[in-house]
């Protein structure tokens, strides 16, 4: 994901293109505090939220 983002403009299009790569790179575990699916969606949503808050 980092290699993909390097040198690219910080735009919503870049963020959208990076989201599938982030999902592939992040493989969380399921435990009592959250399922792997929930954690994977969370990391992608936090990445997008970071873009919105720090354009």
CA–CA separation, 20 vs 31, rounded Å? Answer: 23
CA–CA separation, 44 vs 53, rounded Å? Answer: 14
Q: How many structural domains compose the chain?
A: 1
pTM: 0.82
DSSP string covering 12-44: HHHHHHHHHHHHHH--PPPBTTB-HHHHHHHHH
Domain region containing 13: 2-53
CA–CA separation, 49 vs 45, rounded Å? Answer: 6
CA–CA separation, 25 vs 11, rounded Å? Answer: 21
Q: How confident is the model over 2-51, as pLDDT tens digits?
A: 999 999 999 999 999 999 999 999 999 999 999 999 999 999 999 999 99
């Amino acid at each position: 994901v980092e290699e993909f983002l390097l040198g690219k403009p910080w735009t919503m299009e870049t963020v959208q293109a990076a989201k599938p790569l982030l999902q592939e790179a992040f493989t969380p575990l399921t435990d009592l505090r959250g399922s792997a699916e929930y954690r994977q969606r969370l990391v992608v949503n936090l990445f997008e939220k970071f873009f919105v808050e720090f354009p």
